[in-house]
Chains A and B, each alone.
Chain A
Amino acid sequence: MVYFTKFGDFQFDVLREIGNIGAGHAATALSKLMQKEIDMKVPQVSIIPFDEVADCVGGAETVVVTVFLRVEGDCPGNMFFILDLDSAKYLLLQITGIDKDVYEWGELEVSALHEIGNILTGSYLSSLADLTKLNLQPSVPALAVDMAGAILSYGLIELGQAGDFALTIDTAFFEGNEQVKGNFFLIPDPESLPILFHSLGVPFDGDY
């Protein structure tokens, strides 16, 4: 908790704007891929106990399709692109023409979704890197179809060593008639936050 106690409204606004810019670029990329309009909600920046992180996507036991990548460089953290099962199926159909349930996916389908996740999270991170002038290096993406709690807890390991709370920047997006719904999650490592704020010229603590 050490790292978050001193945040005022201004710091939260800055983090929300980071989510807005990152997810905005990712949503544009998705919109181009699908050739459909994509809307997004106002990013939610929350400091929550570990248990509640999975609640943002429907609870620890909800089965989700997730592309995960680790961000290395100046500002390490974890990035998740999360879709529910129906959305993942529909997204794949729209982009590749493959009509298969998630449980029937083979190598080709998994690889296609990997690439979609890679493009979207890549646009999120590169816009963030442009904004902050920080060096952000995404790892190769990994895909998992499993319980949200099991997947998201991977993003909490680093944080777990420093406290019991996670700072998440969560942006939900949806295609015009809600056939594709998903979330981008950015969970910075605790030591990344001062670096992130510093790069933007924002004081790390106190109300502005």
Chain B
Amino acid sequence: MEIIKIGMADLGVAKPPSRLRTTGLGSCVGVVLYDSTHKIAGMAHVMLPESSLAKSGELSIGKYADTAIPHLIQLMERAGASTRHIVAKLAGGAQMFAFLGNNDTMRIGPRNVEACKMALKDAHIKIVAEDTGGNCGRTIELDATNGMLQIRTVNQGVKEV
């Protein structure tokens, strides 16, 4: 069994028996897509809501919700998945430092979650599970065999969705 690590602002696709894993999600959102018919899994570690926020010319596709999600779907289709079978799970989007809530930058967690939902809606993909918000970091691991998503936090242990 191979564990493929997805870094910050990165994305990747896996087939069984591999697993996709990303660590230390804070305000970032882990977007997990799974086609159970073709057993193809995808994961993106989204850092910012919109690519329009980019200040430099070069654009990193995996960084923004509105570019990462369409690209991930494309990669999965290329690997043999079909969009109508894909469902999504979301984790992350926390607000690690609660009191800084007024500042737009500091509200980035909830904004990331909203943007991911929007991008998924545009692609007609249903969200079947969600563990977002709060104020704790998360590490997630997706099993490409069955689409089970394991979410680990420091205070609340491990859960599966």
The B interface, classified by DSSP as helix, strand, loop or mixed, is loop
A158, CB-defined interface residue at 8 Å:
yes
The distance in angstroms between the C-alpha atoms of A153 and B139, with both chains bound, is 13
| Chain B positions within 8 Å of A164 at CB level | 9, 60, 63
Residues of A within 8 A of B100 (CB): 70, 139, 142
A50 touches B108 (CB 8 A): no
- Please state if A149 and B105 are interface contacts (CB–CB under 8 Å): no
Number of residue pairs across A and B with beta carbons under 8 Å? 104
Residue of A nearest to B54 (CB): A161
Cβ distance B108 to chain A, nearest Cβ, rounded Å: 5
For the complex, count residues of B whose C-beta is within 8 A of A: 36
Chain A at the B interface: mostly helix, strand, loop or mixed? mixed
Given contacts A54-B24, A60-B24, A157-B27, contact A144 B48 (CB under 8 A): no
B154 at the interface (CB under 8 A from A): yes
* B97 engages A144 (CB within 8 Å): yes
Interface centre among B54, B55, B135 (most CB of A within 10 A): B55
Interface contact A161-B99, CB-CB below 8 Å: no
Q: Contact residues of A with B, CB < 8 Å? A: 1-2, 49-51, 54, 59-61, 63, 68, 70, 103, 139-140, 142, 144-151, 153-154, 156-158, 160-164, 190
Extra 17 A-B pairs, beta carbons < 8 Å, given A2-B56, A150-B25, A151-B137 = A51-B7, A51-B10, A60-B23, A60-B139, A144-B135, A146-B96, A146-B136, A147-B137, A149-B23, A149-B26, A150-B26, A150-B136, A153-B24, A153-B47, A160-B47, A161-B54, A162-B54
